[in-house]
Structure 1
Amino acid sequence: MANIKSAIKRVTVNNKKRANNGPQKAEMRSEIRRVESLVEANDVENAKAALQNTVKRIDKAVQKGLVHKNAGDRQKSRLTKKVNSL
């Protein structure tokens, strides 16, 4: 464990941020998997609705710095292509 006061604070702050970021990233990945499963099932209407929620979730993750901007754009692009192919 760190001895310096600022280092101790950094450790606690990093632990709090990690505790908050993990579930948000997991939820984003779950949304992505949900859209992909709907695409495989050829469910057009539900896939489009799920895509909107997923794009919103990805944008929030990018805004908070959980995912790099280009990675978020790439995920959105790939999902949109899959949904539009239906």
Structure 2
Amino acid sequence: MPNIKSVIKDVKRSRQRQLRNQAAKSQIKTFVKKARTVIADTTADQATVTTTVSKTVSVIDKAWKRGIIHKNAANRRKSRLQKRVNAAKAAATA
């Protein structure tokens, strides 16, 4: 543990940020997992899929705006999710 007061405060702030970032990343993973299960479920209606994916995209965008994940990482996650949605739609119509 550091002796200097400002460094002690820095360590405390760093730990708080780490916990906040961990929670946000975990939330992203949870929402992506939920979205994938809804997309894979063939009995789910289109409205459910759309709302779940839009909530997931919102969570990803919020994490990007807060600086928790990189912009390209956020775009990559959203793109992969949308690819799954499009593939499921194509499979349903075919």
Same fold (TM > 0.5): yes
For structure 1, the 5+ residue unaligned runs are none
Counterpart residue type for residue 84 of structure 2? K
- Moved >4 Å (runs of 4+): none
Deviation at 1:45, TM superposition (A): 2.7
Sequence identity (%): 34
Question: How many equivalent residue pairs?
Answer: 86
Give the structure with higher Rg (CA): 2
Counterpart residue type for residue 32 of structure 1? V
Task: Give me the CA root mean square deviation.
Answer: 1.2
Task: Give, in whole Å, the separation in 1 of the partners of 2:85 and 2:47.
Answer: 10
Task: Give, in whole Å, the separation in 2 of the partners of 1:41 and 1:4.
Answer: 56
For structure 2, the 5+ residue unaligned runs are 90-94
Per-residue deviation, residues 3-49 of structure 1 (Å, max 9, x unmatched)? 12221111000111122222222111111001111111122331211
Which residues of 2 match residues 1-86 of structure 1 at below 5 A? 1-42=1-42, 43=44, 44-85=46-87, 86=89
Q: TM-score, normalised by structure 1?
A: 0.90
